[in-house]
Structure 1
């Protein structure tokens, strides 16, 4: 089957965030053309193809992996290409000829849910320590404050990522990009970071998160090391709804200190 394409106008939804890699001036100091659109939003664009292919079932037990390769900038017209590949979809996100992200989505049969007890929730500290090898040591537990996804917040996110699929609003479901955002917050709510970059995620959806519900992330650091001069952290994250209904299991990777800072 030939690749199908979905186009969307990218928006930097984090221009006012603490992560100044999403600020034009700081991003240019790092050699970029301007502020980076967050990787979680690039992932959100790619998810459109999976939901178009499998519908609500993909939100309930689909899988995806996404690796970010080159920047997406505010205002870029990006194309998400989806091609049948084995039992899934091969995904490519482009701006003009540049490949910005690659990945894969699939819909395996539903499997057993992970036990939330295996991911201990820890409240974010009142005073966050600076990001360091000590504060991001393997085995460290991280948690996010409960986030209630109100109808207004869900609608704002759908508009922000240009999502027009009627499934979300019609069924009252949270967009998977908004779920993945909690993995970033597992870092930002627990340590003080300088400019940092999300580089990839592997996601197993476990349930469709519902608008009006409350989401939290429970995470543990599995690795923290150096690659090509960058300091990189890997997180094993379980996003839960309410008192502990698993929504997504994510392996999340970020450059917490770029080599330009070092």
Structure 2
């Protein structure tokens, strides 16, 4: 591992990729109604910024078997500088994202000797609902399985995405590897493809890489709702799932937490 003193901060000019998203928490006007100063840069993209550090340290090995968790504490805003720092502790990395003088996200990353072996049969493959209904408590019942339409990123869209998240590591372009930020974006779709959501907030995720995915691979999700609860007026949902390449190869195991109904909406 590179020594701590050699790990320089990684600075990104944050870009809100989701201004036109169905999730209006990324829209300036709607976000201000919730007390934010503008549309939020998606958590999946803040996670993408953070993932630069373990790739800088461990290279392809991290994308094949590494583990990273991220929790989002404060918003990162479009056009602001997001500074990612890493400390080496107990053979892993402790990560932070700061912007405008505030701690916006924290995380940890490590590199196990090998990736765990998961059985596809332990994760149920389902299609998304035929017709989405407005979200309610029953949309994400614990034990329910969620899926998405098959997704293939493609080489040119991959290049555009890397440009949009300001990714400096050459490995993604050189080897046409799907970025960790895209993998988490796919997990978001498991929520979005199965209900009509209002403004909602990605709280945190953990990803265990099991192998790399190519931009030409067909990707699907097999995600189980593991929890659905209220806390401080917010409605939370937790997912446990895998991302599968070409219907046969697990490439990531993810835990995903989101506020699917912020208290302002739940109280309406």
- Bin the TM-score by the shorter chain: over 0.9
User: 1:101: which partner in 2?
Assistant: 105
RMSD: 1.0
User: 2:37: which partner in 1?
Assistant: 33
Is residue 2:146 matched to residue 1:147? no
User: 2:137: which partner in 1?
Assistant: 133
User: Which 4+ runs in 1 deviate beyond 4 A?
Assistant: none
Q: Matched residues in 1 for 2:262 and 2:252: separation?
A: 28
Contact 2:66–2:115 (CA under 8 A) maintained in structure 1: no
Is residue 2:165 matched to residue 1:161? yes
Deviation at 1:96, TM superposition (A): 3.0
Contact 2:219–2:247 (CA under 8 A) maintained in structure 1: no
Pairing of 1:1-16 with structure 2 (within 5 A): 1-2=4-5, 4-16=8-20
User: 2:209: which partner in 1?
Assistant: 205
Deviation at 1:239, TM superposition (A): 0.5
Is residue 2:57 matched to residue 1:48? no
Q: Matched residues in 1 for 2:93 and 2:105: separation?
A: 14
Deviation at 1:59, TM superposition (A): 0.2
Name structure 1 gaps, 5 residues minimum. none
TM-score (norm: length of structure 2): 0.96
Q: Deviations over 1:98-143 (max 9, x none)?
A: 0000000100111332111111111112211221111211011100
Name structure 2 gaps, 5 residues minimum. none
Deviation at 1:90, TM superposition (A): 0.4
Deviation at 1:244, TM superposition (A): 2.1
Contact 1:4–1:83 (CA under 8 A) maintained in structure 2: no
User: 1:116: which partner in 2?
Assistant: 120
Q: Matched residues in 2 for 1:245 and 1:214: separation?
A: 10
Q: How many residues align?
A: 262
Deviation at 1:152, TM superposition (A): 1.2
1:17 to 18, 21, 27: 21
